[in-house]
Amino acid sequence: MRIEKPTPEAIARAASVLREGGLVAFPTETVYGVAGDATNDRAVAAIFAAKQRPRFNPLISHVADLEAARRLGRFDARAEDLAARFWPGPLTLVVPRLPTSPVSLLATAGLDTVAVRVPDHPVASALLRAVGLPLAAPSANRSGRVSPTTAAHVAEELGDSVAMILDGGPCRVGVESTVLDLTTDPPTLLRPGGVPMEALGLVQLPSDAGSAPRSPGMLTSHYAPRLAVRLDATEARPGEALLAFGPGEAPPGFAAVRWLSRSGDLVEAAANLFAALRALDRPEYAGIAVMPIPEEGLGRAINDRLRRAAAPREVE
């Protein structure tokens, strides 16, 4: 595995690796993804193997633009409208699969829907245009662990299971895309993410009554550092490190303090979240405590990831 600057030459090489069924890690505005040709069963199987991801958890197909997206799934007026408003950007739309959809059935885990997004990152766009295929790309971490927001994180997570890592610097948004299921009315918010729920208009939340998770990324334990994570911390416990959020002061007595945002800016906090969790995940600390973060805007996505990081670990 090599970390490479995203020169036109490196992007052309990455595209040929992908056309031959290999895997490439690449930056998006949300997190780094590990990409394979979404139409190639063997490439998709290699993604599941590299991540050690359960095969019932489907993958997002990334495309360069709406026109390419329309070849994968059925875009009704509602889908067209959302795509026009938020693409390119951190919104994934779950739409009915077209009978002619070239996406591997393994990538959609046998569902009759397909999840599609157009990422807003120059390297991602250049790669998608160079390869001319939809790219299945989950976050480039081992299943259940913290998502990578730098090329170095990807190298730590996936090592030699990817042929190359395109280095686009730190990801701007820092939490994954919002996943919206358009097969229900109103649409169902399957995963809070980079597009705040408040921007989407009327949506419903998935009922947790059903047994099988509708979006298997909703498995409870996820985004887990090695250390235990404790939420809504207002005072220190012995040896703990603190993930702090302003604008107030950090409570005293922690072994280390890392700020998500000193000023209480949720956009800044989202961008810092995964790198901060990684930085505090060290054996010299007894655990990671997190100050309360408001449940609004990007705070919903941040709290969703933190709740999963704090959840019991038996799932994976």
Residues near ligand TXA (CB under 6 A): 28, 30-31, 33, 57-60, 90, 92, 94, 108, 111, 113-115, 119, 137-139, 176-177, 179, 190-191, 215-217
229-248 residues near Mg ion, rule: CB under 5 A = none
State whether residue 27 is helix, strand or coil.
coil
Please give the Cα distance from 116 to 134 (Å, whole number): 9
Least distance from C-beta 121 to Mg ion, angstroms? 17
Q: Are 69 and 130 in contact (CB under 8 A)?
A: no
Interacting residue with Mg ion among 28, 30, 108, 139 (CB under 5 A):
139
Please give the Cα distance from 13 to 257 (Å, whole number): 42
| For ligand TXA, the closer CB: 106 or 233 | 106
10 Å CB burial of residue 199 (0-12, 13-18, 19+) is exposed
Least distance from C-beta 28 to ligand TXA, angstroms? 5
The distance in angstroms from the start CA to the end CA of the chain is 26
What are phi and psi for residue 239, nearest 5 degrees?
80, -5
Residue 57 interacting entry, from Mg ion, ligand TXA, none, C-beta within 5 to 8 Å by type: ligand TXA
Q: Choose the stretch contacting Mg ion; rule: CB under 5 A; options: 74-82, 125-133, 139-147, 202-210.
A: 139-147
Residue bearing tokens 């290999």? 22
Residue 197 interacting entry, from ligand TXA, Mg ion, none, C-beta within 5 to 8 Å by type: none
Least distance from C-beta 312 to ligand TXA, angstroms? 19
| For ligand TXA, the closer CB: 73 or 287 | 73
| For ligand TXA, the closer CB: 26 or 285 | 26
Least distance from C-beta 190 to Mg ion, angstroms? 13
CA dihedral 106, 109, 111, 112 (to 10 degrees): -20
Please give the Cα distance from 46 to 29 (Å, whole number): 24
Check residue 28 for interaction with Mg ion (CB under 5 A): no
Least distance from C-beta 67 to Mg ion, angstroms? 27
Least distance from C-beta 190 to ligand TXA, angstroms? 5
| Tokens standing for residue 288 | 């990671």
Residue 25 interacting entry, from Mg ion, ligand TXA, none, C-beta within 5 to 8 Å by type: none
| For ligand TXA, the closer CB: 22 or 174 | 174
| For ligand TXA, the closer CB: 56 or 248 | 56
Residue 233 interacting entry, from Mg ion, ligand TXA, none, C-beta within 5 to 8 Å by type: none
Q: Are 206 and 94 in contact (CB under 8 A)?
A: no
Q: Bridge partners of 2?
A: 164
Full 3-state SS string of 173-190: CCCCCEEEECCCCCCEEE
Least distance from C-beta 284 to ligand TXA, angstroms? 30
Residues 6+ apart with CB under 8 A from 116: 60, 61, 62, 63, 69, 72, 73, 92, 93, 95, 134
Please give the Cα distance from 182 to 92 (Å, whole number): 10
| For ligand TXA, the closer CB: 91 or 310 | 91
Residues in touch with Mg ion (CB under 5 A): 139
